[in-house]
Structure 1
Amino acid sequence: MTPASTWSTAQAMNPTAPRLQWEQLPTAVRAAVQERAGEVRRAETISAGLNTAFTARLHTDTGLVFAKGTHSARAAAQRREAFINPHAYPIAPRLLWEIDIAGWHVLGFEHLEGRPADLSPHSTDLPAVAALLAHLTELPPPPTGCRRIEDRWADAAEQIASDPALLAGDHLLHTDLNPNNIIITEHGARLVDWTWPTLGAPWIDTACTALWLIAEGHPPVTAETWAASNPTWTTATPQALDTFTAVNAALWTEIAANDPRPWKLRMRDAATTWAQYRARS
């Protein structure tokens, strides 16, 4: 059964701890930011997102900047995002500066005027999201620095006796296509939060997005029909799609078991629903 769409999965994604305010950052960190961005006249804390201790829209002498930061000891994901940014631009907003000082790692990006994508049925954002995914498949991958999808998902594939090599490829992938990471602007959709850059088959990010469509209320058949508008979808064999859905059902089942927040339970149900649909097809 398709998960009920009485509430948005993406809107339920909130950090487990309150975000720090600009004024709560160490003095040395705030000084380093202002050396690069100009004096901060006002800071608006952003609550969306999950993995950073500080996220804010900074109003500076040089304009708006989106800033995110976390403790340096836990900044591996942010460092990956900084590394991949030259390869992901212009789909990703441009990284303006990177700071590592006083135990804090902070990134400053060009500010995007926009809003998170709506992936629910009948959303008018879906064509822009499809165009984004088509553009994404054209990005040249970096020669080093990215894990491969068959390695990242090897444990889950082993649990279900599937071959992760069916997902292999040399295309740059984002893999976290939740609607909060897809920003709809007047110039089209952009993709933020590149903390898991990965190499794999070109259709995988479209499949990751299709999974979110199911979580937001689309039946699997509708999600697959939408995904088929991406030219790379034809390169996915039925066996590869079966592996993708089974692996994601295993991944989200484990994630929800370890942290049963409502949105993770919804993702588990969506992934399971899609895997079961493919098993019956």
Structure 2
Amino acid sequence: MRMDWTALPEAVTAEVAERVGGLHVTPAMTGDHAEIAATVTGTTGKVFVKAAHTDVGVRSLRFELRVSEAVSGPHSPAVVWHFAVAGWLVVGFEHCEGPHADLSPGSPDLALLEDVLAVLGETPAPDAPLFSPKARLGFEHPSMDGDTLVHTDLGPANLIVTPDGLRIVDWAMAAKAAPWVELAMLTPWLIGAGHTPEQADQWLARHRVWQSTDPEVLDYFATKNAEKWASKAAGSTAAWMHDLAGWTSQWSAYRI
């Protein structure tokens, strides 16, 4: 659960202030993978800071730290520094300035995303403890296995359009899988941005790996993913869960 910056002990805030050269804090408005997430501005510039102190939060942030350090390339923000003090793990990431990507039909951001997906589709998984497809999704199929780095959560909140191009943030759920899995997990976000399931499928078909994936495998993925989110939404009042349940259901119905 996201916490306010004021929950941090003084030892932590003092260390951050020393590293950044100041402490003007702007809390993050999206995401929930870290207990503390904020942009901190000082004389050295801006740094995006995440921090955690619970067992689950620290494990998640340590995983994201290891993956972020292992991922190389222009599309992932670098780890600037990290430290542990007073029971908190704190990580400073390169700050990405810009709006979140617009994935609606006809958006110029789709071309930027297409270029990034082409790079990711050929990026080997780094030597880091990544999720397996089953551990990440809750279901499996032999065709989902692979050696490619898969972010698994390319919603608009994790895509930032900077002056230097599209940047992908929040690698807390990265997996090692077949490259088509990334595209399949992107489908609900395209539908949520206004694409019909058919339009989403046609856009994804621009990628060779999508064209070469057995349609029955995609049908299976769409069905199992829709079942998963329907089950999650049934036991939750969270609007985002119900959104994903609706979008995955649309794609499943189209595939079947």
Task: Assess same fold via TM > 0.5.
Answer: yes
Question: Could you tell me which residue of structure 2 aligns to residue 59 of structure 1?
Answer: 41
- Normalising by structure 2, report the TM-score: 0.92
Task: Measure, in 1, the Cα distance between the counterparts of 2:136 and 2:240.
Answer: 22
After superposition, where does 1:30-49 map in structure 2 within 5 Å?
30-35=13-18, 37-49=19-31
After superposition, where does 1:80-159 map in structure 2 within 5 Å?
80-90=63-73, 91-153=75-137, 155-156=138-139
1:212 aligns with 2:189: yes
The alpha carbon displacement at 1:138 in A equals: 2.4
2:214 partner letter: T
1:28 partner letter: A
Question: Residue 221 of structure 1 is aligned with which of 192, 195, 198?
Answer: 198
How many residue pairs are counted as aligned between the two chains?
254
Q: What secondary structure, in the 3-state scheme, does the structure 2 residue paired with 1:260 have?
A: coil
The question of whether the paired residues in 2 share the 8 Å contact of 1:44 and 1:56 is answered with yes
Question: Could you tell me which residue of structure 2 aligns to residue 25 of structure 1?
Answer: 8
The question of whether the paired residues in 1 share the 8 Å contact of 2:197 and 2:250 is answered with yes
- The superposition leaves residues 116-149 of structure 1 with CA deviations (integer Å, 9 ceiling, x where unpaired) of 1111223221111111111112222123411221
The alpha carbon displacement at 1:151 in A equals: 4.4
Question: Could you tell me which residue of structure 2 aligns to residue 270 of structure 1?
Answer: 247
- The superposition leaves residues 224-269 of structure 1 with CA deviations (integer Å, 9 ceiling, x where unpaired) of 1111122321231112211221121022112212323222212101
Task: Measure, in 2, the Cα distance between the counterparts of 1:59 and 1:244.
Answer: 43
Question: Could you tell me which residue of structure 2 aligns to residue 254 of structure 1?
Answer: 231
1:125 partner letter: D
1:194 aligns with 2:194: no
Question: Could you tell me which residue of structure 2 aligns to residue 10 of structure 1?
Answer: none
1:55 partner letter: A
- The superposition leaves residues 181-230 of structure 1 with CA deviations (integer Å, 9 ceiling, x where unpaired) of 01111222111100112111111112212221112221111001111122
Question: Residue 51 of structure 2 is aligned with which of 69, 72, 95?
Answer: 69
The alpha carbon displacement at 1:72 in A equals: 4.2
- The superposition leaves residues 37-58 of structure 1 with CA deviations (integer Å, 9 ceiling, x where unpaired) of 2322411112211232221111
The 4+ residue runs of structure 1 with deviation greater than 6 A are: none
5+ residue gaps in structure 2?
none
The question of whether the paired residues in 2 share the 8 Å contact of 1:87 and 1:139 is answered with no
Task: Measure, in 1, the Cα distance between the counterparts of 2:136 and 2:184.
Answer: 16
Task: Measure, in 2, the Cα distance between the counterparts of 1:62 and 1:151.
Answer: 39
Question: Could you tell me which residue of structure 2 aligns to residue 7 of structure 1?
Answer: none
The question of whether the paired residues in 1 share the 8 Å contact of 2:20 and 2:41 is answered with no
Q: What secondary structure, in the 3-state scheme, does the structure 2 residue paired with 1:32 have?
A: helix
Q: Give the percent of matched residue pairs that are identical in Structure 1 and Structure 2.
A: 34
The question of whether the paired residues in 2 share the 8 Å contact of 1:166 and 1:239 is answered with no
1:32 partner letter: E
The question of whether the paired residues in 2 share the 8 Å contact of 1:56 and 1:66 is answered with yes
RMSD, matched Cα:
1.8
Task: Measure, in 2, the Cα distance between the counterparts of 1:156 and 1:141.
Answer: 20
Task: Measure, in 2, the Cα distance between the counterparts of 1:31 and 1:127.
Answer: 42
The question of whether the paired residues in 2 share the 8 Å contact of 1:67 and 1:107 is answered with yes
Q: What secondary structure, in the 3-state scheme, does the structure 1 residue paired with 2:90 have?
A: strand
